């Protein structure tokens, strides 16, 4: 059931600096209109997009993730060790990044750089701590002519209730881990921009599952990121709060099990996801007009692959309106919840298309859920 237009208009986002508590927010049964401004009217011209994007991000941060930590002091990186790869493929460095106030947050980065002149585009992944990035990943990325940079987001903030990393550096900081980790991506970009082999205009951010949630947030909040690529990211990432299947996660489940990933306020929406003034298509739209691809697995039912298609289709309306329809993509593969070499290959293919200016628009025919309903009544301004 879709809401009548009048009710939807009443559910306009709060005026700047003013966010009503959940009890005061109206229920919106469809995907909220990303073109609705704080004044309750809709934006009309593309020139308004940067301001609208900022408003949408502020609202997403307020109710869901919490703000990102301050930028802090200049990031530095020290190479601890370096090894050459066989067959002249390149080299792998073990780098210690220092970020935050007086460099007090130390984060490990693996930096694998191909041989040759460069500068090279970069795949930046935050999941180094999971130990799943092995030689096969390094050699795949390097052979394609990309740098692989992987940092350990769990040193930015532990994946648990304990307050380490940025939470020790700024004891007042109240954002959730996804925001803290997104900040880790931004500080890693700061460092990468000082590495001579890096092509600073071609940095892609990625990560798996909870790592994909924060990669999407990082890409949405940093215009230096050229390609944003969450993998199997589900709830809090590319998934959809309002439209899920029987076997997928819910807002209630995620805030119960992982409250510290979010701002404390987000738990108020348990059982009331329809009061969110946004859904995850809003976060995807905030990447626009920069490139975005989500890689999904058909067997990963907990992550709601159908919901990710729905948020993709809704966000694609914003991309199309901005003249960037071919900058948003979604790639499905069979199989379970994991970040495997075929996901990485799909990302590299997408990056090649975006970086060479030969994008292949993926029309609705390629989507695995052709019958997914259009669960929004708005359309882009003329």
Site string for ligand GCU, 301-320 (x = CB under 6 A): -x------------------
Closest distance of CB 221 from ligand GCU, Å: 19
Q: Which of 146, 173, 181, 235 binds ligand GCU (CB under 6 A)?
A: 235
- Footprint of ligand GCU on residues 46-85 (CB under 6 A)? none
Distance CA 243, CA 240 (A): 6
Strand partners, 120: 198
Neighbour-count burial of 269, counting CB atoms closer than 10 A to its CB (0-12 exposed, 13-18 middle, 19+ buried): buried
Q: Closer to ligand GCU by CB, 52 or 64: give it.
A: 64
Q: Position of tokens 């997104």? A: 182
Closest distance of CB 258 from ligand GCU, Å: 6
User: What secondary structure letter does DSSP report for 4?
Assistant: P
Q: Is 90 in the site for ligand GCU (CB under 6 A)?
A: no
Q: Which of 13, 122, 229, 254 binds ligand GCU (CB under 6 A)?
A: 254
Q: Position of tokens 């930096």? A: 111
Q: Is 151 in the site for ligand GCU (CB under 6 A)?
A: no
Closest distance of CB 57 from ligand GCU, Å: 21
Closest distance of CB 46 from ligand GCU, Å: 34
Q: Positive or negative CA dihedral for 303, 307, 313, 314?
A: negative
Q: Closer to ligand GCU by CB, 146 or 262: give it.
A: 262
Strands (E), 18-164: 73-84, 90-100, 105-114, 120-125, 147-151
Q: Is 210 in the site for ligand GCU (CB under 6 A)?
A: yes
Q: Closer to ligand GCU by CB, 191 or 260: give it.
A: 260
Q: Is 234 in the site for ligand GCU (CB under 6 A)?
A: yes
Distance CA 206, CA 347 (A): 9
Closest distance of CB 167 from ligand GCU, Å: 20
Q: Is 238 in the site for ligand GCU (CB under 6 A)?
A: no
The count of residues interacting with ligand GCU (CB under 6 A) is 7
Distance CA 164, CA 168 (A): 5
Closest distance of CB 83 from ligand GCU, Å: 30
Q: Closer to ligand GCU by CB, 35 or 302: give it.
A: 302
Q: Positive or negative CA dihedral for 364, 370, 372, 374?
A: positive
Closest distance of CB 117 from ligand GCU, Å: 38
Nearest C-alpha neighbor of 183 from the set 212, 133, 149, 221: 221
Count of C-beta atoms within a 10 Å radius of residue 26 = 15
Distance CA 77, CA 283 (A): 31
**Which residues have C-beta within 8 Å of that of residue 370, sequence separation ≥ 6?**
364
Q: Which of 154, 249, 296, 362 binds ligand GCU (CB under 6 A)?
A: 249
Q: Closer to ligand GCU by CB, 144 or 331: give it.
A: 331
Count of C-beta atoms within a 10 Å radius of residue 30 = 20
By the criterion CB under 6 A, which residues form the site for ligand GCU? 209-210, 234-235, 249, 254, 302
């Amino acid at each position: 059931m879709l809401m009548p237009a009048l009710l939807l208009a009443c559910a306009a986002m709060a005026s700047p600096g003013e966010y009503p508590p959940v009890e005061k927010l109206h229920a919106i049964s469809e995907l909220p209109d990303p073109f609705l401004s704080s004044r309750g009217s809709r934006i009309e011209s593309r020139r308004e997009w940067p301001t609208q994007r900022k408003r949408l991000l502020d609202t997403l941060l307020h109710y869901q993730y919490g703000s990102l930590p301050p930028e802090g002091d200049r990031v530095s990186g020290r190479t601890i060790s370096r090894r050459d790869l066989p067959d002249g493929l390149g080299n792998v460095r073990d780098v210690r990044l220092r970020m935050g106030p007086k460099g007090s947050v130390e984060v490990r980065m693996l930096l694998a750089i191909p041989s040759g002149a460069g500068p090279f585009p970069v795949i930046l992944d935050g999941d180094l701590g999971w130990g799943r990035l092995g030689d096969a990943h390094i050699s795949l990325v390097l052979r394609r002519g990309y740098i692989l940079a992987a940092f350990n987001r769990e040193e930015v903030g532990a994946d648990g209730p304990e307050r380490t990393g940025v939470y020790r550096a700024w004891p007042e900081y109240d954002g959730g881990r996804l925001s803290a980790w997104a900040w880790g991506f931004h500080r890693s970009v700061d460092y990468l921009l000082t590495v001579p082999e890096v092509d600073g205009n071609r940095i892609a951010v990625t990560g798996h599952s909870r790592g994909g949630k924060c990669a999407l947030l990082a890409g949405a909040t940093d215009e230096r990121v050229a390609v944003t690529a969450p993998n199997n990211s589900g709830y809090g990432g590319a998934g959809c709060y309002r439209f899920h299947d029987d076997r997928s996660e819910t807002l209630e489940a995620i805030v119960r099990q992982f409250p510290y990933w979010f701002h404390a306020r987000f738990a108020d929406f348990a059982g009331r996801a329809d009061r969110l003034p946004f859904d995850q298509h809003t976060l995807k739209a905030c990447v626009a007009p920069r490139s975005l691809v989500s890689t999904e697995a058909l067997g990963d039912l907990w992550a709601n692959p159908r919901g990710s298609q729905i948020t993709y289709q809704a966000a694609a309306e914003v991309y199309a309106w901005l003249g960037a329809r071919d900058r948003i993509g979604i790639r499905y593969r069979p199989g379970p919840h994991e970040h495997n070499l075929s996901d990485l290959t799909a990302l590299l293919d997408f990056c090649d298309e975006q970086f060479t200016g030969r994008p292949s628009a993926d029309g609705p025919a390629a989507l695995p859920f052709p019958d997914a309903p259009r669960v929004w009544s708005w359309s882009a301004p003329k």
